[in-house]
Structure 1
């Protein structure tokens, strides 16, 4: 009954354009179930939101899937790495750690899973972030990644100015997902915990993520992860929800000072993972320095904020630590 009331309240908040208050001391309500203790197989599906509308959104979804009895191909739709001018990281390349195998159309694993909306950077695509998003799915999250209409790698009329419109696109997608969660038998909606959303993004996708948290206003999105981002694109953003910032100290595209300034504006719990000498996203490629720390820290941050996993919260400083490579600072995190 409590879960039904929470979903109903979230529906009302999302469709009205506002949300319930988020406490700042320990903002995580009790989860429906405990955080998974195993890795899942990963499935992938795609759909387009508002295909005939003014701003259609192709969406890629990675999700926990049932184990396959036979080997399958490695994943990620689209190219295996970033295209020319891409602001996003490449997907897993050759090497010992290629990440989970992704099976398009694989059956969902049993249960409902928290949802992470992931936003790409300029001239990028959801597929180019599969190294991270597929691993989050394997950890027990449904990851939905839109291709924004005017900033993706294949946009016919590319313009960086359109980033200011992307927070609204992201909210439109979240409202759609919440509606799917109320439809009996919907193959995607039946496996999403639509009372547990987080937003994440890289570069301009990080700006988009921050833009989803209006100035000091409560938000039904429980947490945000801003990677190599932090510029304000939709007004002043002073998040109440828990926020994690990841930034390279030598980033010349979005200087670390931009992320630090956004971190300082947070009104709720916040953490900042800095990678010494790193640029705009090489630490998002498996096998590169910093990838293991970024993956562990972001995954445990999501486990804490979306599954109420207190052990994951306590692991964050250890996750983020790599001598001579990382610096981890926090503000107002629960103990």
Structure 2
């Protein structure tokens, strides 16, 4: 276990200072899966930690950044989750976007999950002893939804309990491993990732699953707090997470 912990944290640079935002704290972990795959990861978690908290891995879309989804992540943290959102190296909004790299992102996401789980045993870390490392969910938007679904391949860890794909496509690899509930959400006027692509992803999954159509919605504007559909959509996601990866 100690050897595994050392291996996982070998790519962990010094953590940036935490910033409190009311009942939620955010902080940046400088993770890296090799020299050419930096994965700086933003964490959001409750400022008052008590007991053990499940983990949510969130994946952004093409040209996105974790901070674009801060209200969504903060809402999950307020509900008692620890949220980890990596900035993927070749699909983020800070440089040239290479959609061909999406195929590599499920492995990035899995690496980040393991690194965050490892914090539970790091002496002195504020999250030590407060992570429910056996209950992890993955959520992603657009290319991040495809990344999320890619985590649920053959042999995926049993602690990966549920997944949510928002406006995503079918993953590059087949589904497999122990069944984990999946939630698919998609706007029926999405021109970036047409709803038929989301339905194809849904049809390819053999796990317990739900498909939610968001009438009149395009590509993700319903994830903005000012959108009238935001409370309904985020509530649906949180209800699904609470049913399958509950906070103790």
* 1:118 correspondence with 2:48: no
- In structure 2, what is the Cα distance between the partners aligned to 1:65 and 1:253? 37
Structure 1 counterpart of 2:38: 56
Q: Report the CA distance shift for 1:189/1:161 in structure 2 as closer, same or farther (over 3 A).
A: farther
Give the superposition deviation at 1:166.
0.4
What is the root-mean-square deviation in Å for CA atoms of aligned residues? 2.3
* 1:275 correspondence with 2:227: no
Normalized against structure 2, the TM-score is what? 0.85
Normalized against structure 1, the TM-score is what? 0.64
* 1:167 correspondence with 2:67: no
1:1-335 map, 5 Å: 41-50=23-32, 53-66=35-48, 109-155=49-95, 157-215=96-154, 219-233=158-172, 235-237=173-175, 240-307=179-246
Is the 2:80–2:247 contact (alpha carbons within 8 Å) kept by the matching residues of 1? no
Is the 1:116–1:144 contact (alpha carbons within 8 Å) kept by the matching residues of 2? yes
Give the superposition deviation at 1:268.
2.1
SS in 2 for 1:189: coil
Give the superposition deviation at 1:131.
1.9
List runs of 5+ in structure 2 lacking aligned partners. 9-21
Is the 2:170–2:204 contact (alpha carbons within 8 Å) kept by the matching residues of 1? no
- In structure 2, what is the Cα distance between the partners aligned to 1:221 and 1:186? 23
- In structure 1, what is the Cα distance between the partners aligned to 2:132 and 2:110? 16
- In structure 1, what is the Cα distance between the partners aligned to 2:246 and 2:40? 28
Choose 1 or 2 for highest CA Rg: 1
Give the superposition deviation at 1:273.
1.3
Is the 2:45–2:77 contact (alpha carbons within 8 Å) kept by the matching residues of 1? yes
- In structure 2, what is the Cα distance between the partners aligned to 1:52 and 1:206? 24
Q: Report the CA distance shift for 1:54/1:195 in structure 2 as closer, same or farther (over 3 A).
A: same
- In structure 2, what is the Cα distance between the partners aligned to 1:308 and 1:177? 17
SS in 2 for 1:293: helix
Give the superposition deviation at 1:243.
0.4
Is the 1:184–1:190 contact (alpha carbons within 8 Å) kept by the matching residues of 2? no
- In structure 1, what is the Cα distance between the partners aligned to 2:195 and 2:155? 23
Structure holding more strand per residue: 2
- Deviations 1:209-264 (CA, angstroms, capped at 9, x unpaired): 0111115866431000000002323x123572100111000101111111112212
- In structure 1, what is the Cα distance between the partners aligned to 2:228 and 2:150? 29
- In structure 2, what is the Cα distance between the partners aligned to 1:198 and 1:122? 21
- In structure 1, what is the Cα distance between the partners aligned to 2:205 and 2:34? 38
Is the 2:60–2:140 contact (alpha carbons within 8 Å) kept by the matching residues of 1? yes
- In structure 2, what is the Cα distance between the partners aligned to 1:52 and 1:177? 17
